[in-house]
Amino acid sequence: MPRRDVGQNASVRLFRTGVARAGAAKPSGGRIGRLRSLDGLRGVAAVVVVLHHSLLTAPTLADAYFTPGQNQPVLSPAWLLSYTPLHLFWAGGEAVFLFFVLSGMVLVLPVLQNARFDWFSYYPRRVVRLYGPVAGAVALGLLTFLIVPRFDDRELGDWVIARPDSYDLHRVLKDLVLINGTSGAVSPLWSLKWEVLFSLLLPLYALFAMVGRRFVAVKAAVLLAMLLIGQFYSEAVFYLTMFAIGGLLAAHWRDLAGSLSRFAGAHRWFWPLALVSGLLLTSVRWLAVGFGLPDHVAGKQIWIAVVGVTLLVLCAGMWPPLVRALESRLAQWLGVLSFSLYLVHEPIVLATRFAFARLDVPSPVSMLVAIPIAFGVAVLFSKLVEKPFHAFSRIAGRRAEALLLAALQEDRELALRDARTARHPAGQQPGDQPREFS
């Protein structure tokens, strides 16, 4: 059916264009191409998460999350890795904040740049794109439980023994649904709950990014306030606000790039200072513990890390030396692999740790073995699971659109048939004169 037939249906046309018309479409400053350096940044963040879970298998490093500032002697290797900027190399939670901001940019931007954004195909595409690889990760996690049984041993450290010892049907179903939270058996899946919710609420995020363009400072202040409120009262508000930050960056990226580039051209210190500031702000919780703040106080400063990762996104997308580094072949390969690596690495890290623990092999050795295995499995997972589901998501989107168009065509034909019937009752041919009765 030609698309112009659908255009005759005003209500459908309104939904198909969606919120994209509400803000006069495109981001301020013109159309934005693919920001490849941000793909590289995502790849680096995925490696940080792998290091995070790998290092947590070392009991002295796990103490940083379970008993912060208590069990590591000052200036010991564990203390230095935990409470100095070195923590950035394995700051897994903060890396996920970065994922959320980047997701906000990546999903909102196409809506802003396409006044006829197709919402009908978007939803099935997105659902398949997320849930297909998640199902694969759940299957892989279940396989690791079956191959390497888990057990409790205090010498494994708090983080390892806090992981579930079994992966029963209830936990599997919970992880497959995501919306009601996850079981912890494949711990990276916790963030997918928020990715799914954001994806479902994308029209609202796009609308927020587009309306009131002149009041970007006000909207930024609102988001900062929401981070603070979420930090103290609601994890949903806290996490979902990060996606809105990404959407706001997408809406004003061109203007920000122009303004910051001009300023940096006159002040060469700007971008290096922005990068260092972003790194320090991202690690603020750990630096605070290192300076002696109790964790219940330092932990409440984690919202500052979101400001830090936002600065890192700006640096990664706008500072030419960093852009070139993140557009390198290695960084781009990591970016392509990032989603698969994120999904599969943790069950492998834990299975390796439990297997080696039975042989009394220390955690550093299991890390050195687990990380290459995780990368190898991620490559296979990307090829055999993620990419096929990505392709299938596009097919699902086209199929959903085709079904919609067919339904609309059928409704239109029925409406035309009803209209003809109303004008020409049964038994009367078009052009016949009504009979006169005396």
Per-residue pLDDT, averaged over 97-109, amounts to 97
pTM of the predicted model as reported, rounded to 2 decimal places: 0.88
Per-residue pLDDT, averaged over 146-154, amounts to 92
Q: How confident is the model at residue 212 (pLDDT cuts 50, 70, 90)?
A: confident
* pLDDT tens track for 34-70: 889 999 999 999 999 999 999 999 999 999 999 898 8
Domain-wise residue ranges, the chain: 3-416
User: How large a percentage of the chain has pLDDT more than 90?
Assistant: 74
HSE toward the beta carbon, residue 22, CA cutoff 13 A: 18
Amino acid letter for position 410: E
Amino acid letter for position 298: A
Amino acid letter for position 212: G
**Backbone phi, psi, residue 61, to 5°:** -85, -35
pLDDT of 316: 97
Distance CA 20, CA 286 (A): 41
Residues 133 and 343: beta-carbon distance below 8 Å:
yes
Residues 287 and 69: beta-carbon distance below 8 Å:
no
pLDDT of 213: 83
HSE toward the beta carbon, residue 187, CA cutoff 13 A: 21
Which of these, 282, 285, 246, lies nearest to 64 by C-alpha position?
A: 285
pLDDT of 30: 59
Tokens of 355: 């297997």
Which of these, 382, 313, 306, 384, lies nearest to 341 by C-alpha position?
A: 382
Which of these, 290, 398, 316, 318, lies nearest to 73 by C-alpha position?
A: 290
**In this model, does residue 437 exceed pLDDT 50?**
no
Q: Please work out, in degrees rounded to the nearest 5, the angle formed at the alpha carbon of residue 206 by the alpha carbons of 14 and 304.
A: 170
Angstrom CA distances, 296 to 66, 74, 354, stand at: 12, 19, 32
Distance CA 80, CA 88 (A): 11
**In this model, does residue 399 exceed pLDDT 60?**
yes
